[in-house]
Chain A
Amino acid sequence: MALLELTDVTRSVRLPDDRILAILQGVTLSVDAGEHVAVVGRSGTGKSTLLNILGLLDAPTSGEYVLDGTPIGRLSGRARARRRGDDFGFVFQQFNLLPGRTALENVAAPLMYARGKTFWRRFTLAAQMLDRVGLGDRLDTMPDKLSGGEQQRVAIARALVRRPRVILADEPTGALDVETGGEVMSLLDEIASESGAALIAITHDLAVAARAQRHYRLAGGVLLPIVLNAPGQVTEWIGDLPVSAPLATAVPITLEEDRA
């Protein structure tokens, strides 16, 4: 059975002028434990909305979301918060580190919501995690004294410190230069694999997307699977998506429905 299962999920909001804006339409997605999935798409197509629904920060307007056999629609707000803390780790584009707290305190913060031993040992666990992302010597540094890449590494450590089953990364490299972004992404890939967590990453960057095992494209609120022909090499995008490398080296990608 899949770890996450979205069936025909829609999400719409009522705009101030009373029009209904459909952000997601009929999204169906299934992710297994430990799987790495990438979602690409232009700005404003609903990628963050999809990720928020997956991470229980938002709820579908219609459709079903089953998390590890539990239909989420039936859970109370409290139970959803619990599962969010227990099962998900978030990495945001803007790092979203807590200001005024050291790297160590930031990484320990999610463990404040854990129970038992994990709660009491939170600083030890956080220090271990920071060591793993290569910041073992920066434990007491404030976020504003860290570079963007370092901040995102702290955020990755923070997302993984509670050993979540799913890591949700919303454009984790979006605020970083290409090289740093690549490093951060390999790190995220690596430690997600190490801990056996599923990784769902949203990105504009095809090179980043190419690291995943399965790929989706979100356009106009519709989620479609895509195939990247030569993983790691892809630089061009069909239609409305950005180009990140010289066209000379580009390898065309094919939409699945095109092949069918």
Chain B
Amino acid sequence: MTGIVGAIVEAWDELRIHKLRVLLALIGVAVAVCAITGITAAAQMMNQAVKEQTERSGGRATTLMVSAYPTGSVAPTGEQYDAEFTQIVERYGVEYASRELYSQLTFRFPNGAQPVQVQAVDVDYGVMRRVQPVQGTWFAEADADRFAPAVVVNEDFLELLGVSDLSGHPTVMLGGKTPVRTTILGVVATQWEGEGPTAFLLYDHFTRWASPDVQYGPVVPNLSLWVPPEMADELTELVRRDMSAGLPGTQTDVYQQGGGFDVLEGGARWVITGIGGVALLLGGLGLVNIALVTVRYRIREIGIRRSFGATSGRVFFGVLMESVVATVLAGLLGVMAAIVIIKNIPVERIFGAGLQDVPPFPLSAALVGMACATAVGALAGLIPAIVAVRVKVIDAIRY
């Protein structure tokens, strides 16, 4: 116990005394650790950001998109689709599932009726696609039992309505032959410039109150299922088989999508890590050099310490620790610098959308940085430590 503490105290003293020379090499190590940690962290955080974005459009890992388009002139009815979908969800115990269909419905805005892109979905859709309303809320289970439809609209929709926010509980008339007053529950961001008004409607509300434009063709609902990735392949097969059997006369397709991918997995990451590695190596070499010079100049001192009863193990460990203590400190600074830099990167600006699960600075990145620093310290300290142990005590305290 006191042996280890003693070695560390000694190492620290040694650094304190040779501070200037050591400092230069350590700056190199700190910068390198900062780069490596920063890159590792940035990669992880960017992955999270990109993952969330892809999940918004394609669903989470793994989402099965199930469709059954009629091949002939006879299409299954909405009820048949519903029944089949319900059976599948129940049979396989799928926790999150949503029926989805795209349609066009007419809404009455202050300056006239206008067709609006509508997506009819189930409540689970909000979780499955990480829908983040900028105002109001997404649908809740209870909304299905409303006596009038409710919608979640985009910002363009709200603007057309001439309303700036939901504080006045705005409503809108859902057109058709028998217009029905519709509550606006929430607002999502407009996805691109000039997207035009869009709205989400609960699937059940759609079947009850909406009268889709017939020109738009037959309305065929899809089903999306959020399933554990490891079961995705098996379920794909089962669902395809069941659907084909349950809905004859349709072409059943089940395909998997969702999940992110590693943005910095490829070249860029390796290049930056490589640069960090080279910097680390250079810092380490600088440290080896300094340590060797100091060891030679400290031969007498090592002899004196031997006379105090320092074992060769202690001398070895002590000299090794000098490098390690130094690089660990440098590494700590590097990691802290990386945290400051990463925390000040405006993620929103870079990725266009905020992160829902904003990842904290990844601990693993900090650990990677500290491991690099320690390893470089140990490697840099190894050679001088061996030199130090081979010093003959009597030669050291002679002259």
Contact = CB atoms under 8 A, between A and B. Distances in A.
B309 A113 contact: yes
A112 B6 contact: yes
A84 B300 contact: no
A85 B307 CA distance: 7
A98 B299 CA distance: 11
A230 to B, nearest CB: 35
B67 to A, nearest CB: 75
A88 B310 CA distance: 12
A113 B304 contact: no
A110 B309 contact: yes
A29 interface: no
A110 B310 CA distance: 9
B312 interface: yes
A154 interface: no
A92 B2 contact: no
A86 B2 contact: no
Interface string A110-129: 10111110011000000000
A105 B304 CA distance: 14
B2 A119 contact: yes
Contacts of A94: 399
Contacts of A55: 307
Given A58-B394, A115-B2, A119-B2, A82 B307 contact: no
Interface in B296-332: 300-301, 304-314
B10 A57 contact: no
Contacts of A57: 306-307, 393-394, 397
Contacts of B9: 112
Contact of B308 (A49, A78, A100, A109): A109
A39 B13 CA distance: 37
B5 interface: yes
Nearest to A82: B309
A114 B311 contact: no
Interface string B364-399: 000000000000000000000000000001100111
Interface residues of A, number: 33
Contacts, number: 73
Interface string A68-86: 0000000001100111111
Given A114-B2, A119-B5, A92 B397 contact: yes
Nearest to A112: B6
Contacts of A82: 309, 311
Given A100-B17, A114-B2, A119-B2, A81 B310 contact: yes
Interface in A43-101: 48-49, 52, 55, 57-58, 77-78, 81-86, 88, 90, 92, 94, 96, 98-101
Contacts of A114: 2
B307 A105 contact: no
Interface centre among B5, B306, B314 (most CB of A within 10 A): B306
A101 B394 CA distance: 22
A12 to B, nearest CB: 14
Contacts of A85: 308-310
Contacts of A58: 393-394
Given A58-B394, A105-B13, A112 B313 contact: no
A109 B3 CA distance: 13
B311 A81 contact: yes
B386 to A, nearest CB: 16
Interface centre among B300, B309, B313, B397 (most CB of A within 10 A): B309
A78 B305 CA distance: 14
Interface centre among A78, A98, A115 (most CB of B within 10 A): A98
Interface in A16-49: 48-49
A52 B392 CA distance: 12
Interface string B127-149: 00000000000000000000000
A114 B2 CA distance: 8
Contacts of B306: 57, 81, 84
The 8 A-B pairs of least Cβ separation, nearest first, read A85-B309, A100-B17, A81-B311, A110-B308, A119-B2, A112-B6, A113-B309, A90-B307
Interface of A: 48-49, 52, 55, 57-58, 77-78, 81-86, 88, 90, 92, 94, 96, 98-101, 105, 109-110, 112-116, 119-120
